Amino acid sequence: MAKGDTVAAAGLVMLGLAEVPQIMSAFLPSPTTAYMGGSDPVRVAWLRRGEVTGSGVAMGIAAGVTLIAAREMGPHAAWIFIGALAVLAIFLYEYERAIRMGKRDGGGQAKGSGY
């Protein structure tokens, strides 16, 4: 692989991994907001809907980047998708943790007081 190809491949790897939190941030508020809304079942339902939708979009883009990178990287491009899955798993784990903690703590404030 020539130097230019290596740089291009590195750019595709970075794109595939960095887009996951970017996309999830478009569909979800911050983990602090998830914590604050964790005691409200309606808000939790909307947060979970955002998790599912964002995950689908993020993995779709990761798959597309992986397919594009496969021309330069061959079968090693699969690591882009695997890496994107790992980033998504960490993101969802922390997000769900914030929701559960909010449910347990009542969102850190009295019920009905809003955000």
For 25-66, write each residue's pLDDT tens digit.
999 999 999 999 888 999 999 999 999 999 999 999 999 999
45 occurs within a structural domain: yes
CA 42 – CA 67 distance, rounded (Å): 38
CB contact at 8 A, 37 and 102: yes
In a domain, 84, yes or no: yes
pLDDT tens string 82-113: 999 999 999 999 999 999 999 988 876 655 55
DSSP 8-state secondary structure symbol assigned to residue 115? -
Nearest to 99 by CA among 58, 54, 48, 24: 48
Give the chain's length. 115
Q: Does 115 map to a domain?
A: no
Instruction: Report yes or no on 10 lying in a domain.
Output: no
* Structural domains of the chain, count: 1
3-state SS class at 26: helix
pTM: predicted TM-score of the whole model, two decimal places: 0.84
Residue 25 lies inside a defined structural domain of this protein: yes
Residue span of the structural domain in which 66 resides: 17-108
Cβ(32)–Cβ(47) under 8 Å?
A: no
Amino acid, res. 107: G
